[in-house]
Structure 1
Amino acid sequence: MTYTKKWDWAHKWFAFSLLAMLVLNWIIAFGSISNLSGIILQIPSSLLFVVMLFGLGWGIGAILFGKGMDILGMALGYPIIMGINAAAGTIIPALIFSPGIFFQTRGKLIIAGAILTVAGIILCAKASSIKAPSESTTNSKQLGKGLIIAVIAGFTSCLPNLGAAFSGQITSIALNSGVNSILAGNVVWSLFFSSGAIINAGYCLFLINRTKSIKSFFNEHKAINWILMLAMSVMWIGSFYFYGIGCSMLGDYGLIIGWPLLITLSIVVGNLWGLYRGEWKEASAKSKRILNIGLLILIGSIVLTAMSNKF
């Protein structure tokens, strides 16, 4: 998104929603599951409704993420949203489907990893706020509104994992239809992200219509802009499909172990990419030191969480 030219956020996010959540999503789903249509027809309507509802909720959460960050800023908004995302996406499936795990060494390591993840997120956000302090001030009324939005965004951001956890019956239908066990979850992603696209793309079109800026899609940079958004879409939707494959290979606790790893690694890689691009070149020694500590803590949480699967 950084390299696109003369496109507002709404144009970028619409292109991303269209390509990642719809076009590529279904290409991957149909490419990996030959009888996908037949499997979907076997899914009870009540279960389809649940998955689609999770997807719609996640779509709303994606919008609220931006709103919460805009009101609260990096230092407060990011750790609240991503901390809740990582913790809730790990703990809620465990509490509902495998509550006994918390009495095992595996569960204790997962909890310890989640705590370290939240701590690392807070430090990385703190480092970013020192590097680029917000110039806006937030009054108490706005702060309260921002906190509510951030909390909702945090819980809705983990809905992909919750949607997968509550869709075991869909996976079973796919398995009974002869789908490979590591690909069965692809049915869930195809439905989940399609409903998420409705909210995301719809909101973007609303913004584009309000600003009368639809012509921006056809500016002189349109070709490179669409190529860049396509590349972003491939990496994003691909990461979720690979995540599903990885979770299936981890066994019964795949979603519980996999989610904190996915979130933590995405934050680590994002910060390392920022370092590579020189975003921290002019930052103070203090902010760099805090960032390094935060990244080390996040790496520690990855190690702890990965170790939990050995017990």
Structure 2
Amino acid sequence: MQAILGVLFHSIGGVAAGSFYMPYNKVKGWAWESYWMVGGVMSWLIVPLIAAYLTVPGFVDIISTSSSTILGVTFLMGLLWGVGGLSYGLGVRYLGMSLGNSVVLGFCAAFGAMVPSIYYNFNPLVGKISFTEMIFSKGGQVVLLGVLACLIGIAVCGRAGMLKESELSDEEKKKSVAEFNLVKGVIVAVLSGILSSFFSFGIEAGKPLTDAAVAAGYDHLFANNVTFVVILWGGLATNFIWITYLSLKNKAYKDFTNKETPISKNILFLL
């Protein structure tokens, strides 16, 4: 039953991860950097704090009393994950929803499964499975088979993208994806997929925060919400710096004062 619930929750998460960009297509009159940051503030700052407060009310005390090293490394993993998240938005921008999601999420799944286990080969930890152990265990072999399936899927989607680009005229490309660029999009999407896996490393680095939440009597199912707050702060910092630069460079900040754009409706879609 627990395995079935795990698959169900992962499926729900997969649908959410693969479709969250869709409302952005409804935003009218704003530059990409404007609606990306508004959505990001909601996703990386407001909602995580609300979720942590509702499930681990003492999360502020746990964070404030934790080691600066633990917080620093967890935040750093969030920064790197933030680069991946930022690149994800650009990947979808250049490749479209279907191809962009396939490449980004495929690489994210592959590296998220492989890199931690390889790390534990060189730095063994109790309770952690190394890459060697994965190879010689049935469960590990199933995971590796799934990774192989992801990589094959990426190759197929990449080939489909190349065929699509060769068949479409410049005018048709703009109608399909306004800024379609296969080469630029694939490079950005691969980078995003690799760096997006750093969220997993952030969870590992912030495990003492989770352990502290459990020790304080909070439900272990929600204890990771404390760690998520710190990781997402890192992601927010990366995106805020880059988006601020783009906004100043392109004067996109004027989107919020332009009376001709439906500000309230745009924000509604982003929230």
- Per the normalisation by structure 1, the TM-score is 0.63
Give the paired residue count: 225
Mapping for residues 155-304 of structure 1, pairs under 5 Å: 155-218=194-257, 219=259, 220-230=261-271
CA-atom RMSD, angstroms?
3.1
Deviation at 1:154, TM superposition (A): 2.8
* Mapped pair 1:84 → 2:115: no
Between the two proteins, what is the percent identity of the paired residues? 28
* Mapped pair 1:43 → 2:82: no
What residue number does 2:137 align with?
A: 104
Give unpaired runs (5+ residues) of structure 2.
Answer: 1-23, 121-127, 174-181
Of residues 27, 39, 43, the one that matches 2:50 is 27
User: Cα gap change, 1:92/1:3 in structure 2, threshold over 3 Å: closer, same or farther?
Assistant: same
* Mapped pair 1:124 → 2:157: yes
CA distance in structure 2 between the partners assigned to 1:223 and 1:15 by the alignment:
12
CA distance in structure 2 between the partners assigned to 1:166 and 1:45 by the alignment:
12
Deviation at 1:127, TM superposition (A): 3.5
Q: Deviations over 1:48-69 (max 9, x none)?
A: 0001000111112233445567
User: Cα gap change, 1:109/1:228 in structure 2, threshold over 3 Å: closer, same or farther?
Assistant: same
CA distance in structure 2 between the partners assigned to 1:127 and 1:2 by the alignment:
23
Q: Deviations over 1:177-217 (max 9, x none)?
A: 11101001001111111121111122112211112232212
The residue matched to 1:109 in structure 2 has which SS? helix
- Per the normalisation by structure 2, the TM-score is 0.72
User: Cα gap change, 1:90/1:184 in structure 2, threshold over 3 Å: closer, same or farther?
Assistant: same
What residue number does 2:148 align with?
A: 115
User: Which one is further off, 42-51 or 120-129?
Assistant: 120-129
Deviation at 1:150, TM superposition (A): 5.3
Deviation at 1:30, TM superposition (A): 1.2
User: Which one is further off, 44-53 or 97-106?
Assistant: 97-106
User: Cα gap change, 1:213/1:66 in structure 2, threshold over 3 Å: closer, same or farther?
Assistant: closer
Which one-letter code corresponds to 2:80 in the other structure?
G
CA distance in structure 2 between the partners assigned to 1:225 and 1:20 by the alignment:
16
Is the CA contact (8 Å cut-off) linking 1:73 and 1:134 kept in structure 2? Answer: no
Which one-letter code corresponds to 1:22 in the other structure?
L
Q: Deviations over 1:112-169 (max 9, x none)?
A: 0111122123323444554465859xxxxxx999887655433211111121133222
* Mapped pair 1:17 → 2:48: no
CA distance in structure 1 between the partners assigned to 2:154 and 2:217 by the alignment:
41
Q: Deviations over 1:9-66 (max 9, x none)?
A: 0011010111111111211111211111111123111000001000111112233445
User: Cα gap change, 1:79/1:224 in structure 2, threshold over 3 Å: closer, same or farther?
Assistant: closer
The residue matched to 1:98 in structure 2 has which SS? coil
Mapping for residues 48-59 of structure 1, pairs under 5 Å: 48-59=71-82
Give unpaired runs (5+ residues) of structure 1.
Answer: 137-142, 231-311
User: Which one is further off, 213-222 or 120-129?
Assistant: 120-129
Which one-letter code corresponds to 2:265 in the other structure?
I
Deviation at 1:80, TM superposition (A): 5.6
